[in-house]
């Protein structure tokens, strides 16, 4: 004799769900709140006087297991002071195509210059726009802070070729030579054809 208990129990679950309040979230029109300690997009913080906390030490880049951060430090001068220390981060890039959101860069930062916000909408239809430069990462100056010098763009760099700050002024941005790509032989360099026996 067939067992009709299981299909009837299944219909009971379906009928019970038909009369419940729907739990569908109408994203992106209605955005659900995230947890207070959610790790989203990074932010470079400032002191209360408007100076940057980043000192260009590159510890965040060293701690990143996905090699998603590139930092190039430069010395402060009396004419142009960006941070209270001797150095500041002249170039700061985070590649969100590589970032895994682990937060190890946050733990490595000695000045708490780098933190993570609750912003989670990082999708884009252009890969180049997912490499965030300093202008998109730096927090706005706090209200009442004295104006700080404006950053001059380091130059349009090709992150994938690791060419930040290396090319001369006359070079075409983003058109670095293949010889500078890590893992490839430089053009004109002679490779030894001898193999160890």
- Known binding-site positions for [4Fe-4S] cluster: 54, 57, 60, 64, 99, 102, 105, 109
Which two three-digit tokens encode residue 167?
Answer: 């090319």
Beta-ladder partners of 87: 75
Cα distance between residue 27 and residue 189, in whole Å: 55
Q: Which residue reads 């932010």 in tokens?
A: 43
DSSP 128: G
154: left (phi over 0), alpha (psi -120 to 50) or beta: alpha
- Could you tell me if 116 and 39 are in contact, meaning their C-beta atoms sit under 8 angstroms apart? yes
- Could you tell me if 111 and 53 are in contact, meaning their C-beta atoms sit under 8 angstroms apart? yes
- Phi/psi at 92 (5° precision): -140, 120
Which two three-digit tokens encode residue 4?
Answer: 């009709």
Cα distance between residue 132 and residue 62, in whole Å: 18
Binding site per annotation, positions: 54, 57, 60, 64, 99, 102, 105, 109
């Amino acid at each position: 004799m067939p067992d009709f208990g299981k299909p009837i129990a299944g219909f009971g679950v379906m009928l019970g769900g038909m009369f419940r309040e729907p739990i569908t979230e109408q994203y992106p029109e209605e955005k659900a709140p995230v947890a207070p300690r959610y790790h989203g997009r990074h932010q470079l913080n400032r002191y209360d006087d408007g100076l940057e906390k980043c000192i260009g030490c590159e510890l965040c880049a060293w701690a990143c297991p996905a090699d998603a951060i590139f930092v190039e430090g430069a010395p402060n001068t009396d004419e142009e002071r960006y941070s209270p220390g001797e150095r500041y981060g002249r170039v700061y890039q985070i590649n969100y195509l590589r970032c895994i959101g682990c937060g190890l860069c946050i733990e490595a930062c000695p000045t708490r210059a780098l933190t993570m916000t609750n912003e989670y909408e990082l999708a884009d239809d252009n890969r180049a726009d997912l490499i965030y430069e300093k202008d998109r990462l730096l927090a706005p100056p706090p209200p009442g802070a004295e104006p700080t010098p404006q950053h001059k763009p380091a130059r349009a760099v090709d992150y994938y070729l690791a060419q930040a700050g290396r090319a001369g002024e006359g070079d075409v941005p983003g058109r670095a030579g293949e010889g500078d790509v890590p893992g490839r032989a430089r053009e004109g360099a002679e490779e030894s054809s001898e193999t160890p026996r």
